[in-house]
Structure 1
Amino acid sequence: MVNDPKQIRDRSTLRADCSRCAALCCVGLAYAASADFAFSKKAGVPCPNLQPDFRCGIHSELRRSGFKGCTVFDCFGSGQKMVQETFRGLDWRSSPDTAAKMFRVFPLMTQLHEILWYLAEAIESGPPEPLAGKLVQLEEETERLTSLGPEGILGVDIEAHRQEVSALLMETSGVVRKRFKKSKKKLDRRNADLMGAELKGSDFSGVDFRGAYFIAANLRKANFTSADLLGADFRDADISGADLSMSLFLTQSQANAAIGDCITKLPAQLDRPAHWAKKPRDF
């Protein structure tokens, strides 16, 4: 997918570093008792599993303890950005007067970092001018927004910014996928309901799966080369042996939500989830 090695973006700041955060996701976010969480928690209330050092007391047992949702969440590095830069080293425990504002800023910063992740990938795909220049300009503008103070970030019209970015990402996707000669109907599967579908070994190269539902689908050995997966729901989807290495806009959160194995191919920027099978799954 990358045409020019010089286009590769440094996304290290867009990867979560919990050691430099203050467990913002464990406190600021709410969750409801479900298959993903063993019990409900209100926003702004520390999770009972949170330790004094901001570490999770059951981190290695999260899935077995009923907290699969925690292993799927990804802040795209917004947590450490906020603690270290936006709030200049303060945290909600030592500076409780900043807690409410911190928890309001966190989801906004997370969205901005997610946008930066997508823009970096779009630029890496090597689009032609003037599209490439527009993407770089939006990347720079988004970086500027992440550097604002708390009040500045709270004043950002995130929805308007996302819409502007979305239009360029869609255009980039079209450029990357245009070399595939499938019918328009086969290439456009946006928001498709594929929950529980048997799709083993399918060739999805060049298909637009934005917002598609792959929940619990059998996607073993499927080929997702240049498939647009932005916002696709991979919860409990079996992607064992599948090739997603050259897919578009796949995130760590999506990979974490899926079921894979040691031969599942992921984009270079993503880590292989710890819960995936260490041996090839039985096909």
Structure 2
Amino acid sequence: MKYPYENKNNPILSFSDMSRHNLQADCENCFGFCCVALYFSASEGFPVDKDAGKPCINLQSDFRCSVHKSLRKLGLKGCIAYDCFGAGQKVAQVTYGGHDWRQVPKSAKQMYEVFLIMRQIHEMLWYLAESLTLQQTCHIQGELSSMLNETERLTLLSPDSLIELDVAAHRGDVNTLLLQTSELVRSEVQPGQKTSSRHQKTLGRGLDLIGANLRKNDLRGANLRGAYLIAADLRGVDLSGADLIGADLRDADLRGANLTHSIFLTQAQINTAKGDSDTKLPISLTRPIYWSK
């Protein structure tokens, strides 16, 4: 795969161009892996309780979902939110060369395991690719580029090699660069803020902000990595430069919020939140059609 930043005449093209072709789910070229490989429960917004490796009751013989157009109406928030970052079609068409788990049932269990690993790798690619588009990372672009190339190389490994891969160790190496990226971006947004302020003391990584009213908080450049923002009120809040990697935005109210220059935000996170036509999103993400106007 040739990434946009490898073009010498145009070093960094828009992240949306890259993600659209390489890191977004293409269900037409997948074999319904997310509907089979994953464990899920009705309490988490899925059709029924289902064991990993068992096909969803709504998965058809052509690997399409029979209720896809009615997911929201049926209240299947888990299905709406899930994103494989393009891992499904990679496993289906590249790793297994177009052979599906029904054609080769003896390889089904291995395929599911490989898909779960590939999904993790593709998520890392998403964050690394975004990091490369940020002006603040100009001094670490070499390291980011090398790490992205190495991560992409891993996606081309054989099934056996992928299963043996130490994903946690690689994620640790990737996260080191993502943390550097976060610090570079956030420090540029925060110069005018006092680092010892109440804002810095009360907001940070992994916080429980469930249901919190954050409309009066200055969240520019905030470290919200892994924060629980479930049902939080973020109406009209400026989240420029805020690091939202892994933040739980389920039912968070983003109406009128500005996330244009927030970092490490994914479509899955946006799909679980509430927004409207005034919510500003990064160019790499799509406004859900069910958001209020």
Cα contact 1:119–1:135 (8 A) shared by 2: yes
Cα contact 1:202–1:223 (8 A) shared by 2: no
TM-score by length of 2: 0.90
Q: Which amino acid aligns with 1:195?
A: I
Q: Which amino acid aligns with 1:219?
A: L
Give the CA deviation at 1:39.
1.8
User: Partner of 2:54 in structure 1?
Assistant: 45
TM-score by length of 1: 0.93
Where structure 1 has 5 or more consecutive residues not aligned to the other structure, the ranges are none
Counterpart pick for 1:97 among 106, 109, 114: 106
Counterpart pick for 1:114 among 106, 112, 123: 123
Once the two structures are superposed, the pairs formed by residues 240-259 of structure 1 within 5 Å of their partners are 240-259=255-274
Once the two structures are superposed, the pairs formed by residues 1-283 of structure 1 within 5 Å of their partners are 6-8=11-13, 9=15, 10-11=18-19, 12-128=21-137, 130-179=139-188, 180-181=190-191, 182-184=193-195, 186-187=199-200, 189-200=204-215, 202-277=217-292, 279=293
Secondary structure of the corresponding residue to residue 42 of structure 2: coil
Give the CA deviation at 1:35.
4.5
Q: Which amino acid aligns with 1:199?
A: L
Cα contact 1:202–1:221 (8 A) shared by 2: no
- C-alpha change, 1:198 and 1:130, in structure 2 (3 Å) is closer
Cα contact 2:131–2:137 (8 A) shared by 1: no
Q: Give per-residue Cα distances to partners, 1:12-69, cap 9 Å, x unaligned.
A: 2100010010100001111022041242001111101111111111111112223210
Aligned length: 275
Greater alpha carbon shift after TM alignment, 121-130 vs 169-178: 121-130
Distance 1:82 1:271 in 2: 24
Q: Which amino acid aligns with 1:49?
A: N
Cα contact 1:208–1:227 (8 A) shared by 2: yes
Distance 1:82 1:246 in 2: 32
Distance 1:29 1:177 in 2: 35
Give the CA deviation at 1:119.
0.2
Q: Which amino acid aligns with 1:150?
A: P
Give the CA deviation at 1:270.
0.7
Percent identity for Structure 1 against Structure 2: 47
Distance 1:35 1:125 in 2: 35
Q: Which amino acid aligns with 1:256?
A: N
Give the CA deviation at 1:130.
4.7
